[in-house]
Structure 1
Amino acid sequence: MRVVVIDCGLGNLRSVEKALQHAGFLSVRVSYDAKEVSEADVLVFPGQGAFAKASMSLRELGLAKAILKHIEKGKPFLGICLGMQLLFERSYEHGKAEGLGVLGGEVVLLPQELKLPHIGWNQVWIRKREGMYSGLGDGEFFYFVHSYHVVPEDESVVASTTDYGIHFASAIQKENLWAVQFHPEKSQRKGLFLLSNFRSFCESIL
């Protein structure tokens, strides 16, 4: 099972690579090469930073097409933080920018009266108990670093919500597509547990 962690130049991805290995993935590579990405069995797309810059990098490197084809083929995909946000149609971070459009909806700023970015441990409230959160309970803590959040058009894709001034979607689960706003690689034991659930899911459909 070939796992590729997508590198579009935003952030240190080695912690994600190591966390996936700890969760039981044996073959993990970090790559920005469109050919390698297109040949992967599993894609993991982490990231922090500006939505528009990341979206442009994906297109310039030919990664956007590779990601879309991967998802269309029903192969497992995990988006983390910015990697979750880029799955949606558009963001309003520093003006309007287009995302991958895999999911309907947009990315908007958390309430400005709050301390931003939202950094630190916060709880998730589970809507989908099978798959991503199998074996985990309501109120588990995960580590967040973000100022923007997704607003899905289809509420049925929301796997969990989190409270930070408002209730926002902190995870998405739809068929082969999983995505989280928090950082499982920074979330210690619970984060590794979730990544192990992702590995089990990958093994079940590949």
Structure 2
Amino acid sequence: MVSVAIFDYGAGNIFSLKNSLEKVGATVDVITTFDNQNTYSGLLLPGVGNFDPAMNSVRNYSKVEFRDYVGSMPVLGICLGMEMFFEKSEEGKEKGLDVIDGEVIVLPPSMKVPHMGWNDLEIKKPGKILEGVKDGSWAYFVHSYRVKPKSNDVITAESDYGIKVPAVVEYENFFGTQFHPEKSSIVGKIMLENFLKECKK
């Protein structure tokens, strides 16, 4: 069994993510600070909440810096969690985690916001958490913002809703999905299993 932690921003129910991870063989703790010694093999930043309160919960209630706590441990950011990887977001004024160069911008007014529902993935290049996921697979999205990396090299999959939206990013030990794997049926299950494989290395 691999032991992982979900960071709880205090913004919503993360039971479905915890349940999905346990179903694919993980032992899961829910944590609210980074004060304690890191004994986990992986960390998940869930997709529930708003940018500024989530960033404040990471910074204001922990004595240990996020990057120091994480080190080389695999981190999976889901929706908001992925957006937090970047330098800043139009959703708020707080500085992001700044592990990937770029920003988070609101979806254009031409789209129905929030974008909610199933959409297909266009795989741009191989990725560790995309292993076994076929091009054109469907995933479940709920979001009003999208990431805009400075380099497209970090984007491993996109989705198209009139504009191309980065759907999966990978950079060093950081993995992000704009969609919710825990709500994405078999495709999501494969990606969570792939993440756990990285945690076991």
* Identity over aligned pairs, percent: 39
2:67 corresponds to which residue? 68
2:134 corresponds to which residue? 137
Whether the 8 Å contact between 1:31 and 1:37 is mirrored in structure 2 is: no
CA distance in 1, matches of 2:72, 2:104: 24
Query: Does the C-alpha gap of structure 1 residues 44 and 101 become closer, same or farther in structure 2, counting only changes over 3 Å?
Result: same
TM-score by length of structure 1 reads: 0.91
- 1:64 is displaced (CA, Å) by 7.3
CA distance in 1, matches of 2:199, 2:47: 21
Structure 1 portions without partners, runs of 5+: none
- 1:38 is displaced (CA, Å) by 3.3
Query: Does the C-alpha gap of structure 1 residues 156 and 63 become closer, same or farther in structure 2, counting only changes over 3 Å?
Result: farther
* Alpha-carbon displacement from aligned partner over 1:90-109 (angstroms, at most 9, x marks no partner): 0111x533111111100001
2:173 corresponds to which residue? 176
CA distance in 2, matches of 1:186, 1:97: 28
AA partner of residue 117 (structure 1): P
1:84 corresponds to which residue? 82
- 1:63 is displaced (CA, Å) by 7.5
TM-score by length of structure 2 reads: 0.93
| Count of aligned pairs between the two proteins | 200
What value does the CA root-mean-square deviation take over the aligned residues?
1.7
Which of the pair is proportionally richer in helix? Answer: 1
Structure 2 portions without partners, runs of 5+: none
Question: 1:47 aligns to what SS in structure 2?
Answer: coil
CA distance in 1, matches of 2:37, 2:21: 17
1:57 corresponds to which residue? 57
* Alpha-carbon displacement from aligned partner over 1:45-79 (angstroms, at most 9, x marks no partner): 102232112111211111771x31244x2111111
1:153 corresponds to which residue? 150
CA distance in 2, matches of 1:178, 1:70: 17
CA distance in 2, matches of 1:70, 1:62: 10
Whether the 8 Å contact between 2:127 and 2:170 is mirrored in structure 1 is: no
Question: 1:132 aligns to what SS in structure 2?
Answer: helix
CA distance in 1, matches of 2:127, 2:78: 19
CA distance in 2, matches of 1:96, 1:74: 28
1:201 corresponds to which residue? 198
CA distance in 1, matches of 2:190, 2:94: 34
* Alpha-carbon displacement from aligned partner over 1:163-201 (angstroms, at most 9, x marks no partner): 122101111112221110100001111111111111122
1:39 aligns with 2:39: yes
